Structure 1
Amino acid sequence: PFTTEELLDYYTRLDFDYGVSIDHLIVAQTEEKKRFRYELTIQNAAEFISEHKKQKLPWTPIGAVQGWDPASYRDAAKQYVDMGYDYIALGGLVRTTTKGVLEILSEVRTVVPDDVKVHLFGVARPQALTRFSDDGANSVDSASVLRKAWLGSNLNYLTQEGWFSAIRVPQVTSFRAKRLVKDGVISLDKLQTLERGCLRGLRDYAASNDDTPSEALLDLLVEYDTLIAGERAKTRQKIERTLIHRPWQSCPCAICKDAGIEVAIFRGNNRNRRRGFHNTYVFHQIMQQVLNGELEEIPFLPPPPPPKEDTANTSENTKKAEKKKTKKVSKRATQKATKSTSKKKTKKDKDLPSKPKKKKTKKDDAVELVQMALFTPPQDTD
């Protein structure tokens, strides 16, 4: 663990713009010690800003706040304001629902004046940015888009249109490559030849005006990728899609302008982290567009579900048909119920004398004949 003095020195030596006090996460695993961790975090924050003022350091101190419910966050935040913080940060919210975060934020803002900024650690949720801002958050952060640069094989390179896969050309010095050579699966010379062929092919393609990569290049890239990483779904399609779109050419960030296709190649740590910084840049642009109301749909999120059908706008004919159908069903149900009731006589009903049948008259016979003539369907004749 670091001390406050070490942290102050670290932020100062590396010329940071902001520095955050030491906090202690309060989660289910630390439930028994939550009060101790809570008080220790507050104590660290007090020491942090006190030493910052004493040393007259040039960067902005941020007090890290921990808690377990809206009230605990509020009470801690009030103490930080009294300490003299102009910027506080709410931590431990990553696993909290957006609704829960908003409840905590709203409660904190009841004791934190508008001139004190509030940061939310780890919850830069694109779909909730506007609500966070409206409820009093001044800043948010997330390492998600940074880490996607080297995690998985689908979502590695972010653009305004969505995600692309990075093209994997692992170094022959990687753990998996060394293991293949050691196990005699392939010789080092053969592996190096494949690696150089992939890199040369990618760079030649990037320098060309070709609309699509050659089948030979795709074959080579898939062969090397599969050899090192094993069989994976749609590897060829992912590589081809990235190469056809050439997303690095249209990106205005300094990294893509300087490195070109190298940003899209999944390889060493430095290269992968540069792609992560590119992702962070693009994510920041998207955040600004969302907050400014310039972006309705976020490219890396699934589209919203279609709106439910408005029954109020149903056509008149449909309404009439439904009404008619309802009446018909209701009539049938009534008839069925009446018939069923008449069959199920109680013991009392059975004991009662039955009503005498009404004697038919000539008029009744005439009506019956007319009904038969009108409603009886004609019989087939030979």
Structure 2
Amino acid sequence: MKFFFPDSQDQVDPSFDFVSEERDPFRVRQRDDLYAHEALTQAPFDGLLVSKSIVDGQAGGGTGKYTAAQRHRLYREGAARFFRLDRGHTPLEIIGDCGAFSYVAEEFPPYTVDEVIDFYDGCGFNYGIAVDHIILQYDPIATRTDDRAAEWLRRQDITLELAQDFWTRCIDRKVRFAPVGVAQGWSPASYADAVVVLQRIGYRRIALGGMVPLKTVEILACLRAIDDVRDPSTQLHLLGVSRCDDVPTFASHGVTSFDSTSPFRQAFKDDRDNYYTASRTYVALRVPQVDGNTKLKTRIRSGEISQGQAMALERTALSRLRQFDANEIDVDPVVDALLEYSALWDGKTDRGAQYRATLSDRPWRDCPCDLCTSVGIEIVIFRGSERNKRRGFHNLYVFEQRLREQRGRNTECPQLGVLPAPASRQENSVFPPSKSSKDMDAVSTPSPWTAS
């Protein structure tokens, strides 16, 4: 089972000074900052997923996460050089995607098939996912004739029509990437119907979309229905789904890869589960910048508290955390300082017990990842992007270790067991080698959309 991390240009600055909170004045972000696969000796994923909506924004107005200079450089240099895959320690691959969540409210996808192929082939991706239109509703008893399924069926038809067009254009243009179809559905039966059509078109790599809101039992129900129609050679990818403990079960149903940002985003988006370990999660120690916290700035502007008081409490909290990490003080004065400062900006939440658990267990000292060993307690301080993203990279590292463990436990699909690091990108492929253009020309591309 391979794990792909969706790119959103998340990097860390190796020159960042955690005490002065200053950077190298000559630092150039694109040149000097590090991706997760560079910051960690062992890449915490098997590849990247790069969405057109993130890079280019939406057709007709929306902006992406990339600057104009970054976008031009990606197209000019290609993905392997842009993401510096040669500078990482682990061979990686890249899947291209449209980013259907970004246009879920639109009547039709905003990209043409040829625009998407231009993006995938121009950037040199290994795999390209067909244009799709997401269905977020799930109703296992709804049939195609139900009135409430009319919009879902329309979106499924659009997705399958685009999949046919995508496959045909990939053959005509002799693309260098391997095409991946998308199955969108609202029930186990509808997902299975979509897989039937995609296999008729010629796809043996199929991504399952719209499953992010589903519970594990619902995902498994869909996979079981797909089992009844899936060709043994067809491999499945779960879009946006990360259920590490269910990897062996997913693998037994033909799932060979998935993508998710959850381990990374929990570092700074979750209220409690911010720092991963093999056995549990911990809350991060919140010490926001005085000039970067909205609640705190509002209270200062209103005259409720003085800026000087806030800055003094902030400095005390940081100082005591570092004293604690140096074994100069015990837990109590650190927790007191954290709570006294949090009373200014978050007086409604008492995290005292959670902070005490994080500090008492000192999980960063037991972690062998490059980031924990290099920055110490700073990794568990919830404060600014440099700390928060490092903690996110650490979470990816722990997640990947857990995934390795789950791979090792899998007995129904022994090919997913732990293997030594591959010697080349081809050996590390998440899918079998892609068909040549000649092979693809031999595949029939029928036109009917409805599975029989």
TM-score by length of 2: 0.57
Q: Tell me which protein shows more helix as a share of its residues.
A: 1
**Equivalent residue for 1:268, pick from 370, 376, 384:** 384
**Equivalent residue for 2:164, pick from 33, 39, 46:** 46
**Equivalent residue for 1:282, pick from 398, 404, 407:** 398
Q: What is the deviation of 1:156?
A: 1.0
Q: Secondary structure at the residue paired with 1:64?
A: strand
Report 1:192-231 matches (<5 A).
192-206=311-325, 208-209=326-327, 213-231=330-348
Match of 2:188 in 1: 70
Determine if contact 2:187/2:222 at 8 Å carries over to the other structure: yes
Letter in 2 for 1:224: Y
Q: Secondary structure at the residue paired with 2:267?
A: coil
Q: Which has the larger radius of gyration?
A: 1
Q: What is the deviation of 1:136?
A: 1.9
Question: How many residues are aligned here?
Answer: 291
**Equivalent residue for 1:154, pick from 259, 264, 272:** 272
Distance 1:179 1:40, change over 3 A: same
Q: What is the deviation of 1:53?
A: 4.8
Q: What is the deviation of 1:168?
A: 0.1
Q: CA separation in 1, counterparts of 2:170 and 2:386? A: 33
Q: CA separation in 1, counterparts of 2:314 and 2:174? A: 53
Q: What is the deviation of 1:6?
A: 4.5
Q: CA separation in 1, counterparts of 2:353 and 2:317? A: 16
Q: What is the deviation of 1:222?
A: 1.3
Q: CA separation in 1, counterparts of 2:310 and 2:114? A: 50
After TM superposition, where is structure 1 displaced by more than 6 Å over at least 4 residues in a row?
none
Determine if contact 1:213/1:243 at 8 Å carries over to the other structure: no
Determine if contact 1:171/1:177 at 8 Å carries over to the other structure: no
Q: What is the deviation of 1:151?
A: 3.1
Distance 1:38 1:99, change over 3 A: same
Determine if contact 2:310/2:344 at 8 Å carries over to the other structure: no
Higher relative contact order (CA 8 A, sep 6+): 2
Report 1:148-187 matches (<5 A).
148-172=266-290, 173-187=292-306
Distance 1:266 1:85, change over 3 A: same
Q: What is the deviation of 1:167?
A: 0.3
CA deviation profile, 1:123-174 (whole Å, cap 9, x unmatched):
4334433222222221234443333222343211110120111000112222
Q: What is the deviation of 1:8?
A: 4.2
Q: CA separation in 2, counterparts of 1:177 and 1:37? A: 45
Q: CA separation in 1, counterparts of 2:330 and 2:348? A: 21
CA deviation profile, 1:158-204 (whole Å, cap 9, x unmatched):
10120111000112222122112111122223222322332233234
Q: CA separation in 2, counterparts of 1:191 and 1:61? A: 55
TM-score by length of 1: 0.66
Report 1:309-348 matches (<5 A).
none
Determine if contact 1:213/1:240 at 8 Å carries over to the other structure: no
Q: CA separation in 2, counterparts of 1:57 and 1:95? A: 33
Answer yes or no: is 1:81 the counterpart of 2:199. yes
Letter in 2 for 1:145: P
Q: Secondary structure at the residue paired with 1:292?
A: helix
- In structure 2, stretches of 5+ residues that fail to align are 1-102, 104-109, 139-147, 411-452
Q: CA separation in 1, counterparts of 2:301 and 2:184? A: 49
Answer yes or no: is 1:94 the counterpart of 2:212. yes
Determine if contact 1:157/1:264 at 8 Å carries over to the other structure: yes
CA deviation profile, 1:208-235 (whole Å, cap 9, x unmatched):
145x6353332221111221112323x2
**Equivalent residue for 2:132, pick from 23, 29, 52:** 23
Match of 1:330 in 2: none
Q: Secondary structure at the residue paired with 2:248?
A: helix
Q: What is the deviation of 1:51?
A: 4.3
Answer yes or no: is 1:188 the counterpart of 2:307. yes
- In structure 1, stretches of 5+ residues that fail to align are 295-382
**Equivalent residue for 1:293, pick from 409, 413, 423:** 409
Q: What is the deviation of 1:22?
A: 3.0
Distance 1:167 1:49, change over 3 A: farther
Q: CA separation in 1, counterparts of 2:177 and 2:373? A: 31
